[in-house]
Chain A
Amino acid sequence: MAIRLYKEPALVNPVLVACWPGIGNIGLLAVDTLRRLLEAEEFGEIEPWHFFYPRKLLIRHGELKELEFPSNRFFFKKTDSRDLLFFIADEQPSWEGKVYAEGTKAYHMANLVLDVALKFGCRKVFTSGAAVASIHHSMRSRVWAVPNMEHLVAEARSYDNAVLMSDIEGRSGEGNITGLNGLLLGVARKRGIEAICVMGEIPIYLQGFPILYPKASKSVLEVLTAALGVSVDLKDITEFAQRNEQEIDRLYNELPPEAKEQLDKLKHISPARPANARTITEDDKRKILDDVDKFFKKSTKEGGN
C-alpha cells in the first residue's frame, strides 16, 4: 500500500494538521482554509484505491480515460514561526453508506499519515472536527480541545475560547470523537506523538443537516493559528459565517413558534459556567429536537426534492 511523495521538502520539527470530513465539515473547512491562506504546497498523497471506491468515471469516444478517486493529499509550508505539514482528505474510508471510518482501514490510514509525519521529523499533530453542543446559532462557537497526553492539558486549556471535556455540562471530562479525526489522536498516542483535536461547536439542532457551519470553522481557525503561531486573514471566513448565519436565521424564523421558543432557550446557556446556568431540562431538549426534526422533515417534503 503506497504513499506517493512527489518531493521531499527539508523541514524542521514540523507540526502536522490533519483533517477528514465530518459534521458540518467544520474541521475540514478550517484546516483547508488555513492550508489555502498559507499557500501550502502539495507534495504527496496516499494512493486512494486501497481505501475508496471511485467517485467519477470519464469516457471519451468510447474509451475509458479516467477514474477519479477521493483525494488524500499532503502539503507543506515553511513559515517564519514553524514548519507545517497538512493532510487533507475528501472522505473517510468506510463501509458503503457510512460516513465515518472504523476498523482496519481507518487504523491503517491513520498509521500511514503518521508514517509520513514521522518521516519529516514531526512530533506534534492537530486534528479537527465538530462538537455537537446545546448552543444557539447566534452564539460564538467554542472549541473543545482534547489532547492525547496529560502534559498537553494545560496547553489545550490555554487557547482562547477553548474548553476541555471536563468544562462541558454533564460530561465529566468524558466523551468520544468519532472517525479518523479522533482515531488519529489515539494512534498518535500509541506511537508516542503529541496530538490535540480541536472541535468547533455546532448547535445540536443543526447537526443532522448537510450544511457547512463556518462560524465554528472560524473558531477552530482562531485556535489553530494561535497554537501554530501563524497569522492569516480571516476576513473571507468571517463574511462567509455571517452570510451563513443570515441563511440559518431565515430558516429559523420559519420554525413553528413553539419550536422556536424552545430553541430560544439555548441562547441563555452561559458558555462560561454552563452547569450553573442551565435553563432547559433533558425533557425540554428532547422536545426541542423532536419539534425541529418534524419541522425540517415537513419542509423537505414540501420542497419536493
Chain B
Amino acid sequence: MTGHSPCKFYSEPKLPQCSLLVSWMEDAGRLGPTVIGHLNKKLGGRLFCEIEPEGFFQLGGVLVEDNIAQFPESKFYYCPDQQLVIFQGNSPRTEWYKFLNTILDVVEKVGRIAEIYTIGGMVTLAAHTTPRMLLTTANSPEMKSVLGHYDLARDLDYETPPGQRPTISSYLLWVARRRNIRGAAIWVPVPFYLLATGDPRAHRKTVDFLNRRFNLNLDLSEIDEAIHQQNVRIASLANQFPEMDDFLHKLESNITLTDDENSRLVQLMEENLSKEC
C-alpha cells in the first residue's frame, strides 16, 4: 500500500543497532504497559514518534474507561544508552499488516533492528504465590537459540483454537520474520483475580529477564516492595474474608474453582485490593 506517511516524528535519533520492545495497551493485567512504563521511567525513555490513528482505528467517538475518555495511542520511545526502542500502543482495528510494517519502518529509520521482543500477560488459573515461568515463542531457530541462555519455557506447542484469533504480537513476529528480523514473544502468566489490580510478580519476572538480556542494571527493589505490599494486603484480606482464604488455598493446592467461586474471588479482589495496591 502506498500513500502519505502515517507517522509523526518529533525527533530522529540515530542508534546504530537497536532492540525493539513492544507492548499493547489491551493486555492481561496491563502487564505490558506496566513494564514499559517502568522501563521508560527508569531508563529515561524519550518520545520520538507516533503513528497517527487515522486509517487504523474507528474514529467515530471516544471510549470512556474509569471515567476518562480514551484515544488510540501508538508511541515510540528511545533509550540511547541502552540502544533500545520501545513501542507502546493500542492494537489497530483494521489495516493490521500496514500498521505492523509501519512499526518496523519507524524503528528501521532510527537504526538496524537486532531483535524484537513483544511483552504480554496471559491469564492463568494458578494462585499468585505460584512461581512464574516466562513462556516464549521465537520467530526463527536463531532466536530460539538466543533464548536458550535464559530460564524460559521455550518448547511450547500451540494452535489457535476454533473461534479465537492469533494475537497481534504473533502477527508482528510473523511480519518481522518476513523482513528477516528475529524476534520473540514473551508471555507472563497473570492470575485471573489480579487482572484488574495488576500483578507485581509478573512485572518483576519480565523486568528481570529484560534486565539480564540487555544489561540494564535496573534495581528491582521497588518492584520487590510492591510484591511484598500485595502479599501483605492479600493475606490481610484472606483473614478478613474466610471464603477468599479458602479459594486461595484451593488454588495453591491445584484444585480448580467453580465458575461461581472464580467470580466471587475476582469480585472480592477487585472490591478490596484495587483500593490500596
Contacts and interface: CB of A to CB of B under 8 A. Distances in A.
A59 B171 CA distance: 12
**Interface core residue of A55, A64, A105 (most chain B CB under 10 Å):** A64
Contacts of B160: 55-58
A60 interface: yes
A249 B241 CA distance: 54
B170 A67 contact: yes
Contacts of A121: none
B158 interface: yes
Contacts of B93: 95-96
Interface string B155-184: 111111000011100110110010000000
A154 interface: no
Contacts of A105: 94
Nearest to A54: B166
A119 interface: no
Contact of A63 (B58, B94, B140): B140
A49 B96 CA distance: 8
Contacts of B177: 64
Q: How large is the interface on A (under 10, 10 to 19, 20 to 34, 35 or more residues)?
A: 10 to 19
**Interface core residue of A56, A61, A63 (most chain B CB under 10 Å):** A63
Interface of A is mostly: mixed
B230 interface: no
B99 to A, nearest CB: 11
Contacts of A60: 157
Given A63-B137, A95-B93, A54 B174 contact: yes
A43 to B, nearest CB: 23
Interface in B43-79: 58
Given A59-B159, A61-B157, A96 B138 contact: no
Interface string A42-66: 0000000110011111111111100
Given A62-B155, A62-B156, A95-B94, A54 B171 contact: yes
B141 interface: yes
Nearest to A66: B174
Contacts of A53: 96, 165, 171
A253 to B, nearest CB: 30
Interface in B117-161: 136-141, 144, 147, 153-160
A56 B139 contact: no
Interface string B1-40: 1000000000000000000000000000000000000000
A208 B171 CA distance: 32
B166 A57 contact: yes
B97 interface: yes
B144 A62 contact: yes
Interface in B225-272: none
Contacts of A63: 137-141, 144
Interface of B is mostly: mixed
Contact of B157 (A50, A55, A56, A59): A59
A58 B137 CA distance: 11
Nearest to B167: A57
Nearest to A51: B97
Contacts of B174: 54, 64, 67
Nearest to A94: B94
Nearest to B147: A62
A54 B140 CA distance: 19
Contacts of A57: 158-160, 166-167, 170
B157 A64 contact: no
Contacts of B136: 62
Given A49-B97, A54-B171, A1 B1 contact: yes
B9 to A, nearest CB: 25
A54 B160 CA distance: 10
Given A62-B144, A64-B138, A64-B139, A56 B171 contact: no
Contact of B58 (A54, A62, A95): A95
B1 A62 contact: no
A128 B119 CA distance: 44
A59 B141 CA distance: 12
Interface string A61-85: 1111001000000000000000000
A225 B158 CA distance: 43
A290 to B, nearest CB: 29
A22 to B, nearest CB: 20
Nearest to A57: B166
B242 to A, nearest CB: 33
Contacts of A1: 1
Interface of B: 1, 58, 93-94, 96-98, 136-141, 144, 147, 153-160, 165-167, 170-171, 173-174, 177
29 contacts: A49-B96, A50-B1, A54-B165, A54-B170, A54-B171, A55-B160, A55-B165, A56-B159, A56-B160, A56-B166, A57-B159, A57-B160, A57-B170, A58-B158, A59-B137, A59-B157, A59-B159, A60-B157, A61-B154, A62-B136, A62-B138, A62-B156, A63-B137, A63-B144, A64-B137, A67-B166, A67-B170, A95-B58, A96-B94
Given A55-B166, A67-B170, 5 more contacts: A53-B96, A59-B159, A62-B154, A95-B93, A96-B93
